[in-house]
DNA sequence: AATATCCGCAACCGCTCCGAC
DNA sequence: CGTCGGAGCGGTTGCGGATAT
């Protein structure tokens, strides 16, 4: 049994707001201030859902809002923060006076994401596409937990670069595994890309991607600061040579090492270390919020460090824990104010 | 000039969080 | 401690203008 709707949706107006409706909201807020939005439509004489009124006010009518375009400084800040904390738009918006989370989110989805993709940077991990691919390629040495293992990299990456979603060719070229390609495309074995993610679990997939991003060198912000000079990357396109930034670091070795045993969490469906599972069992509950958001948050990256530094870091970060600690301190150094109490929401 | 397609923005939806009771 | 309901958040949708054909 779900919650009753906040209003009778069949009897309230929806869609674009008229100037008259805007004027009523404004007049109401001037006289009564904000708060208890469910009463606002009634008191203001509007045939709208209270929630809709609140959105209209917070996203458009608030007098402190800017309605002009984003500046390059704002743009850079958004990318930096997205690289650090992921798509937590409200937090990002708080750092941009006069901008709403909706503004930031729309700007990211329509402009910045495409811009990064054009530059050969994966907008999810904020790493060069070539590096993401090589990271995933290294993951392909995962223990063979399922026979149906396919390549399924994040959608942005795949779509932006028109790479076919190919299966990993099973040993002996037995083509019994399911083929997943972009719609209507025949898998191109010539362009086979050696990464694989376990089928039928987006959680697993995203978690692996997240771990791949975070456990190797995290470099979003150093990338971001080089927005104006994308040519500074050695590999700008997926067609570029795919070479692991650190050949001495072997993902498959790492994942199979005694110190790090991976298991599928039966409740959340994500891959976790045994230690993580154990902790989750103890904490019992808040792991979803912590896990999901921290994944993007602590999977974040250093700011101001050079790409070379990050790559070297990756070579050194043989220990997963070391990697996490390194990143944590880097993030704290880069965004100290984001880690105060108000950030922890 | 008409039509199709693309793109950006505003708004909605469903969910979680959190405070009041 | 559990329930309820308002507020807030992130993802998604759909409209309307801009651009291409």
The DSSP secondary structure of A71-115, one letter per residue, reads: PHHHHHHHHHHHHHH-S-HHHHHHTSTT--HHHHHHHIIIIIHHH
Tell me, in Å, how far CA of A129 is from C1' of C1?
50
Strand B close to A89 by CB, under 7 A = no
Higher pLDDT, A55 or A135: A55
Q: Nearest nt to A67, CA vs C1'?
A: B9
Do the beta carbons of residue A253 and residue A141 sit within 8 Å? yes
What is the residue-wise DSSP string for A257-324? STT--EEE-TTT--EEEHHHHHHHHHH-STHHHHHHHHHHHTT---SS--HHHHHHHHHH--SHHHHH
C strand bases under 7 Å from protein CB = 5-12, 15-16
Highest average pLDDT, of A164-168, A223-227, A303-307, A318-322, comes from A318-322
Backbone phi, then psi, for A75, in 5-degree steps? Answer: -60, -45
| Strand pairing class (A197-198; A127-128) | unpaired
Task: Find residue A262's DSSP bridge partners.
Answer: A273
Backbone phi, then psi, for A121, in 5-degree steps? Answer: -110, 130
Q: What is the pLDDT of residue A200?
A: 31
Q: What is the mean pLDDT of residues A64-90?
A: 86
Q: What is the pLDDT of residue A329?
A: 58
Q: Which helix (H) or strand (E) holds A326?
A: helix A320-334
Q: Which helix (H) or strand (E) holds A231?
A: none
Pairwise CA distance, residues A117 & A178, whole Å: 28
Q: What is the pLDDT of residue A266?
A: 37
Domain boundaries A11-61, corresponding CATH code = 1.10.10.60
Q: Return residues with beta carbons within 7 A of strand C.
A: A 3-4, 6, 15-16, 35-38, 50-51, 54, 58, 87-91, 101-102, 105-106, 109
Boundaries of every domain in chain A: 11-61, 122-145+214-343
pLDDT band at A335 (very low <50, low <70, confident <90, very high): low
Strand B close to A60 by CB, under 7 A = yes
B strand bases under 7 Å from protein CB = 7-18
- pTM of the predicted model, to two decimals? 0.53
Q: Nearest nt to A293, CA vs C1'?
A: C10
Q: Which helix (H) or strand (E) holds A140?
A: none
Pairwise CA distance, residues A150 & A167, whole Å: 4
């Amino acid at each position: 049994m779900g919650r009753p709707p906040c209003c009778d949706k069949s009897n309230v107006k929806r869609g674009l707001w008229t100037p008259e409706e805007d004027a009523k909201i404004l007049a109401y807020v001037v006289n009564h201030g904000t708060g208890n939005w469910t009463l606002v439509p009634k008191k203001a004489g509007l045939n709208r859902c209270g929630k809709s009124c609140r959105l209209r006010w917070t996203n458009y009518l608030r007098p402190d809002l800017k309605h002009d375009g984003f500046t390059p400084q704002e743009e850079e800040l958004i990318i930096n923060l997205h690289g650090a904390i992921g798509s937590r738009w409200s937090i990002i918006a708080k750092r941009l006076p006069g901008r709403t989370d909706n503004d930031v989110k729309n700007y990211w989805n329509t402009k910045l994401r495409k811009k990064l993709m054009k530059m050969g940077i994966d907008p999810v991990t904020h790493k060069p596409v070539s590096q993401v691919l090589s990271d995933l390629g290294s993951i392909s040495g995962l223990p063979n937990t399922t026979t149906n293992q396919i390549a399924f990299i994040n959608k942005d990456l795949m779509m932006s670069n028109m790479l076919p979603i190919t299966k990993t060719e099973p040993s002996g070229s037995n083509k019994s595994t399911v083929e997943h390609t972009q719609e209507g495309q025949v898998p191109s074995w010539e362009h086979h890309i050696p990464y694989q993610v376990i089928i039928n679990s987006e959680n697993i997939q995203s978690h692996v991607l997240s771990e791949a991003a975070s456990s190797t060198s995290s470099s979003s912000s150093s990338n971001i600061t080089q927005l104006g000079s994308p040519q500074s990357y050695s590999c700008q396109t997926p067609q570029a040579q795919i070479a692991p930034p650190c050949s001495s670091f072997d993902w498959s070795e790492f994942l199979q090492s005694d110190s790090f045993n991976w298991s599928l969490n039966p409740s959340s469906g994500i891959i976790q270390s045994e230690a993580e599972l154990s902790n989750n069992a103890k904490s019992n509950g808040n792991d979803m919020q912590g896990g999901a958001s921290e994944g993007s948050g602590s999977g974040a990256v250093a700011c101001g460090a050079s790409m070379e530094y990050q790559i070297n870091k990756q070579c050194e970060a043989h220990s997963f824990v070391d990697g996490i600690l390194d990143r944590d301190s880097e993030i704290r150094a880069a965004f100290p104010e984001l880690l105060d109490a108000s950030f922890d929401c």
